[in-house]
Homo-oligomer: A and B are copies of this chain.
Amino acid sequence: MELVTLAHGSGGDESCKLINDLFLSYFNNEILYKQNDASLVEPIDGKLAITTDSFVINPLFFPGGDIGKLSVCGTINDLSVSGAKPLYITAGFIIEEGFNMCPLEKIVYSMAKVAKLARVKIIAGDTKVVEKGKCDGVYINTTGIGVIEHYELTHTLQEGDQIIVSGSLGDHGACIMSKREMLGFNSLLKSDCAPLHEITEAILSISCNVRIMRDPTRGGLAASLNEIISNTSKSMMVYEKKLPIKEEVKSFCDLLGLDPLSVANEGKLICIVSKEDSVKVLKTIQNHPLGQDAQIIGEIINDSSNKVYLKTLLGATKMLSMPSGELLPRIC
């Protein structure tokens, strides 16, 4: 069984072999193949969207995906919810000495597969190897470049704007937590890790009144809504009864004392859109296989305190705060 050695990361002969045999063979494209210090791409017509993310998820493989799929989906999604069409991705690997080539190949295969699906090219890469105990298997950074094709989201919220989520909340975080803590009792839990570019493209094609989109990853829905509202002069009202949460996620979170609204998602989006367009946007999302459980979960209200309020099932109104403290570390 071949293992990754420090020599694979030191820029010599072994590095070349690893790049040629593994990365180039899976991420195969004419730009990457040139192997220059930087990759050149044709001029892009329009504003660019640029995003970066490092992935340190533990465990590396989980129901519904692995760090490879996650690292490409995560960056595709950051571009997509910014209203951009994803074009190019770079991949930086930090690998622990002694890591097995076989799972590494699986991870690279997952990256290539989802990139191909989204018609995104992986055009530049880098590999570093660190000594045993200085990393946890493999960490991956992906940086994405996309282009604004439809219109630039205004990020300006108006009273009455509707808040839509594209599906059930907390799936990814609950799955990872369950897998990591060996809580094998709930085998239904599965990460929602998926690329959202088709849904965002469909939304922007049918509505010119999308204010903002977000993918609620670390910190879940609660963190994303609080971030969105923080720099505005509005507030949000979210209706608990409208929140799509799977039974298995609900009971898992209950058991562990977690709030599913603070638990990470990796294949869901929040879309805030004008009241007039909200139903057609909701239907568009629901028409996509990844958006069947989409719901309008709340609305923008005229309250200048920048708060996210939650109307509970029992009719009480409480604040949905920014999560704090140790959430689930290494969830992505």
Q: How far is the CA of A13 from the CA of B43 in the complex (A)?
A: 39
A6 nearest CB neighbor, chain B only: B329
Task: From B10, B44, B128, B327, give the contact of A54 (CB < 8 A).
Answer: B128
Task: From B12, B145, B227, give the contact of A323 (CB < 8 A).
Answer: B12
CB pair B326–A5 under 8 Å, yes or no, is yes
Which of A91-99, A235-243, A307-315 lies at the interface with chain B? A91-99
Check if A304 is an interface residue, CB within 8 A of chain B: no
Q: How far is the CA of A40 from the CA of B51 in the complex (A)?
A: 9
CB pair A92–B56 under 8 Å, yes or no, is no
Q: Could you say how many copies of this chain the assembly holds? A: 2
CB pair A49–B43 under 8 Å, yes or no, is no
A-B contact pairs, 30 of them (CB 8 A): A6-B329, A7-B324, A10-B218, A10-B331, A11-B217, A12-B219, A12-B262, A12-B323, A12-B324, A13-B324, A15-B218, A35-B227, A36-B82, A38-B49, A38-B50, A38-B81, A38-B82, A39-B50, A40-B48, A40-B50, A41-B50, A43-B47, A48-B145, A50-B90, A50-B145, A52-B143, A54-B93, A56-B134, A130-B136, A134-B136
CB pair B136–A10 under 8 Å, yes or no, is no
Min distance, Cβ A227 to any Cβ of chain B, angstroms: 8
A155 cross-chain contacts in B, Cβ below 8 A? 34, 36
CB pair A56–B11 under 8 Å, yes or no, is no
CB pair A11–B327 under 8 Å, yes or no, is yes
Min distance, Cβ A136 to any Cβ of chain B, angstroms: 4
- Residue from A55, A123, A130 with most neighbouring chain B CB atoms (10 Å): A130
Q: How far is the CA of A92 from the CA of B82 in the complex (A)?
A: 19
- Residues of chain A in range 118-171 having any CB-CB distance to chain B below 8 Å: 123-126, 128-131, 133-136, 139, 141, 143-146, 148, 152, 155
Q: How far is the CA of A152 from the CA of B92 in the complex (A)?
A: 25
User: A residues touching B (Cβ–Cβ < 8 Å)?
Assistant: 5-7, 9-16, 34-56, 77-79, 81-82, 84, 88, 90-94, 123-126, 128-131, 133-136, 139, 141, 143-146, 148, 152, 155, 214-215, 217-219, 223, 227, 262, 264, 322-331
Contacts A90-B143, A139-B139 known; A214 to B37 CB distance under 8 Å? Answer: yes
Q: How far is the CA of A48 from the CA of B5 in the complex (A)?
A: 34
Q: How far is the CA of A78 from the CA of B92 in the complex (A)?
A: 14
CB pair A48–B43 under 8 Å, yes or no, is yes
CB pair A51–B38 under 8 Å, yes or no, is yes
